[in-house]
Amino acid sequence: MQLASEFRGLLALMSLALVAACPVVAGAEVQSSAAHGFRLQLTETTPATPQRVYDAIVGEIGKWWSSDHTFSGDAANLYFEAKPGGIFGERLAEGGFVRHLDVVFLQPHKRIGLSGGLGPLQELGVQGTLTILLDVVEGQTRIRWNYHVTGFLADGLDKLAPIVDRVLGEQLQRLVTHLK
């Protein structure tokens, strides 16, 4: 019981630190949240083509993802396997690794489907689905990230929704900046 209380306290401190460290992204929105889960939608546009955006996501993730949101402390350790059974993963010291998300759907230059819990969500045993959609709107590529998370957390997953929204929003903003 005390361990659960300590974990909640640590989670609260991590949450405050993440909120303070992450910028607000204009296209980010917690669409819905409840004790059992939440749904986020993040949207940005870029003059880069859908092919360029797709290539940056699957081939250059270590160049734009924040090192602050990795287990190794270095985004250069991130990789994306764009193949059946592939993963969005991270290399750790001494041959270790983190399997951040499983690749479950790839339609090059249009849609990427990923499954799993990012970051601290992984340790909570929740299930998440991140869908990345790319389409052309008025001559620009619209990038939409939809992240659905369900599961159980004693204090409610809705408490984590704004934090996850900010962290993912930061990554999407970094992607758009990388594409310039």
Strand duo 97-107 + 87-91: pairing: antiparallel
What's the pLDDT score for residue 120? 84
Question: Average pLDDT for residues 140-149, to the nearest whole number?
Answer: 97
- What is the pLDDT of the chain when averaged over all its residues? 87
Q: Which helix (H) or strand (E) segment is 59 a member of?
A: helix 50-59
**In the predicted model, what is the mean pLDDT of residues 125-148?**
97
Task: Say if residue 156's pLDDT is above 80.
Answer: yes
Q: Does the structure show a pLDDT above 60 at 16?
A: no
For residue 40, give the nearest of 143, 171, 144, 170 by alpha carbon. 144
Contact between 105 and 112 under an 8 Å Cβ cutoff? The reply is yes
pTM across the whole model: 0.83
8 A C-beta contact, residue 49 and residue 173: no
Going along the chain from its start, the domains and CATH numbers come out as 2-179 (3.30.530.20)
33 pLDDT band, cuts 50/70/90, is: confident
Confidence bin at 21 (pLDDT 50/70/90): very low
Reading the block at residue 3, the tokens are 């361990």
- Pick the residue with more confidence: 28 or 73? 73
pLDDT at 7 over 50: no
In this model, does residue 1 exceed pLDDT 90? no
